[in-house]
Structure 1
Amino acid sequence: MNSKQAAEMFDLSVDTLRYYERIGVIPPVNRGENGYRDYQINDLNWIFLAKSLRSAGIPIASLIEFSELARLSETQNVARAQKQILADQLNEIDNKISEMNEIRSMLQYKLDTYDEHLAQFKNGELTSETVEKLWEINHYTKN
């Protein structure tokens, strides 16, 4: 598969694919006799992994480190290091998901109580001095 086809497959630009290869996010892609990149399944897997992890906010440096480890000789230490990179990134994503769930719960609470609070402000039941402190309430569920 050529660069254009690979780029289209993953909704990336050809420049992005070349950039990922140049900086080491994906291993070097073999070239055909004509000198053009010839993406194979393993290359496409690397592109998919890189795009997915970048979409999740994984830093380029972590992707480069993971890719560099893949090019080292297969040892238990290399496999352990790669697995640790993935575990660390999974942990970061889990933390972000937890934070986002808390924010989502707070937003849902605000939506659920918006009309009621607005009416209370309008009729004077709620003032800027008596309004709830969102950071102190337990009206929404923290996950």
Structure 2
Amino acid sequence: MSQAAVAGAEFEARYTIGEVAEQTGLSAHTLRWYERIGLLDHPARSHHGQRRFSDADLGWLAFLGNLRATGMPVAAMLRYTELVRTGDETRAERRQLLIEHREEVLARIRDLQTNLLVLDYKIDLYGQDCQ
């Protein structure tokens, strides 16, 4: 197989919405919603009109999943998606958006670490009383 064929295989639309739902943990409803609001490009369609997703789509969905897991609001995800679609001239703006989000994530991690210390303190107190 040629390099072009291998590279093209990444974009070959071959997964059904059910398969993508199973692989990503997202529901078919969520995948359709992502498409409707613009987080996901309209996937290719089979000759029967069924959505067919590619490996590239799966990669994008994995990235969106990471953004969601870090608490990025959907509006910010949409902004990032719009910037990606605009092209390379938005690289600096995309980077800045991710840097700002990273700072928010780090702040939440610091808050969680403080909360964990309080829990550990209380657990230790109960451990002393229960023995």
- Please report the TM-score for the alignment, with normalisation by the length of structure 2: 0.79
Q: How does 1:16-35 map to 2 (within 5 A)?
A: 16-35=30-49
- 2:78 aligned residue: 64
> 1:93 is aligned with what amino acid?
V
Q: Deviations over 1:87-119 (max 9, x none)?
A: 111111111000000000111011112355x69
Q: Count the aligned residue pairs.
A: 116
Matches of 2:38 and 2:27, distance apart in 1? 17
Structure 1, unmatched stretches of 5+, are 120-143
- 1:109 aligned residue: 121
Which of 13, 16, 29 is the equivalent residue of 1:2? 16
- 2:95 aligned residue: 83
Which of 41, 54, 71 is the equivalent residue of 2:68? 54
**Is residue 2:113 matched to residue 1:92?**
no
Matches of 1:115 and 1:48, distance apart in 2? 41
- Based on CA coordinates, which of the two structures has the bigger radius of gyration? 1
Matches of 1:92 and 1:50, distance apart in 2? 17
Q: Greater helix share, 1 or 2?
A: 2
Runs of 4 or more consecutive aligned structure 1 residues displaced over 6 Å after TM superposition: none
Judged with a 3 Å threshold, the aligned counterparts in structure 2 of structure 1 residues 81 and 27 are, in CA distance, closer, same or farther, namely farther
- 2:59 aligned residue: 45
Q: CA deviation at 1:63?
A: 0.6
Q: Deviations over 1:103-143 (max 9, x none)?
A: 00111011112355x69xxxxxxxxxxxxxxxxxxxxxxxx
Taking only aligned residues, the RMSD between alpha carbons, in angstroms, comes to 1.7
Percent of residue pairs bearing the same amino acid type: 30
Matches of 2:87 and 2:72, distance apart in 1? 25
Q: CA deviation at 1:29?
A: 2.0
- Please report the TM-score for the alignment, with normalisation by the length of structure 1: 0.73
Structure 2, unmatched stretches of 5+, are 1-14
